[in-house]
Amino acid sequence: MKIIANSRIMVTQRQLISYAARPWQALRRFLIAQFVRVLTKPLRNYAVRFPNDLAALKRHLRKGDVILVEGTQRVSEVIKYLTQSSWSHAALYIGDELVRRHHPFVRQARAAFGEEVNFLLIEALVEEGVVVSPLSKYLDYNIRVCRPYNLHKDHLQIILDEVIHQIGYEYDLQNIFDLARYFLPVSLVPRRFRRKALQFGSGLPTQVICSSMLAAAFGKVGFPIRPRLAAASVPEPVPPARSWRRFLPGATQKTSSVFFHRPHPTLVTPRDFDLSPYFEIVKFNIIEPSRFDYRKIVWVEEEEETASLPQLDRSLP
């Protein structure tokens, strides 16, 4: 009887702990929902600096290209401020990869996007997590196309496998706070210690942000984005037949080698793809070379623009 009574007491205690935790979990979900609602509010003033040609974009894009976006939400301004960059979002172009693979999600994508199912990208959004979106979604945004230089075809498939597998993952909001703690100039932690003190987001494998998802995928095949380079001197190997020469004075030579230190994926931001020397910038909006002649451009002089503006009354009262 004592064993039964004790087991009942244990069950009751577990139930009480579970019931006590539920209000806190509900409060946490409520606060997160409110935080996401604030972050995803659209900005009032957003200007497209140059109109995008969707046909040219489709023609020039390749699978594996990284598309940088200047977002239109409040969280976009936060990321741009923290990283001191024009780019707040990054997505990976996969084209018709879902159709080619007969992916389970392709039927839903075809119903939602129609023919645009052949021009898809994968991205991690604050409110939706990792999703598939049509390329035309960012037609009226400021964007930049970054192409990994000399990426091997087999490695491209590994990268595509990695990001497609993450469809449905949640967005890691914790990483936004960590980025703020790392990038803000005012901090209680000295800058040289911030990298060690950083917690790298929530640490959950099913929670990512846009740039960390892409950085992890490229890192899986050893493709660099913005590594930290360090030079080191290493002894030059001596052929076995002449190994006795290493005992002669001055026979041992050292060569300088460069070692790559890979940053943690959660520390990679959209700006890093833009600044990386290993990604080419694809100017898809440029006019065809055969049609472009700068000598035929009709320029509007600054004086003419000023004359067309309403004049201010500068007279003193």
Strands 279-282 and 142-148: antiparallel
Q: Is the model more confident about 158 or about 85?
A: 158
User: Which amino acid does the sequence have at 48?
Assistant: V
* Whole-angstrom distance, CA of residue 151 vs CA of residue 279: 10
Q: Specify the DSSP class assigned to residue 167.
A: T
Q: Which CA distances in Å does 205 have to 165, 200, 208, 213, 217?
A: 12, 12, 7, 10, 13
Assess whether pLDDT exceeds 60 at residue 292: yes
Please state, in angstroms and rounded to a whole number, the distance separating the CA atoms of residues 199 and 73.
25
pLDDT in tens, 241-255: 555 555 555 555 555
Q: Output the CA torsion sign for 66, 70, 76, 78.
A: positive
Answer yes or no: is pLDDT of 6 > 60.
no
pLDDT at 203: 47
> What is the rounded CA–CA span in Å between residue 218 and residue 215?
5
Structure-token pair, residue 149: 């230089």
Q: Does 75 score more than 60 pLDDT?
A: yes
Starting at the earlier edge strand, list the strands of the sheet with 66-70: 129-134, 120-125, 89-95, 66-70, 142-148, 279-282
Q: Cα(56)–Cα(287) distance, rounded to whole angstroms?
A: 9
| Residue 186 φ/ψ, nearest 5 degrees | -95, 115
* Residue carrying structure tokens 């939400």: 73
Model confidence at 147: pLDDT above 90: yes
- Tell me: pLDDT of 16 over 80: no
Pick the closest to residue 64 from 117, 105, 121 (CA basis). Answer: 121
Tokens at 105, concatenated: 């999600």
**pLDDT for residue 7 is more than 80:** no
Listed range (1-5, 52-56, 113-117, 269-273) with the worst mean pLDDT: 1-5
Identify which of 142, 272, 281 has the alpha carbon closest to the alpha carbon of residue 209: 272
Domains and CATH numbers, the chain: 54-228+260-282 (3.90.1720.10)
* Range from 22-31, 87-96, 299-308 that averages highest in pLDDT: 87-96
* Residue 115, token pair as written in the block: 């023919």
List, for residues 163-175, the tens digit of each pLDDT value: 999 998 887 766 6
What per-residue string of b and e applies to 31-62 under the rule 16 or more CB within 10 Å gives b?
eeeeebeebbeeeeeeeeeeebeeeebbebbe
Confidence of residue 113 (pLDDT cuts 50, 70, 90): very high
Give tens-digit pLDDT for 186-212: 444 455 544 444 444 444 444 457 888
Closest-CA residue to 155 (of 61, 205, 93, 218): 218
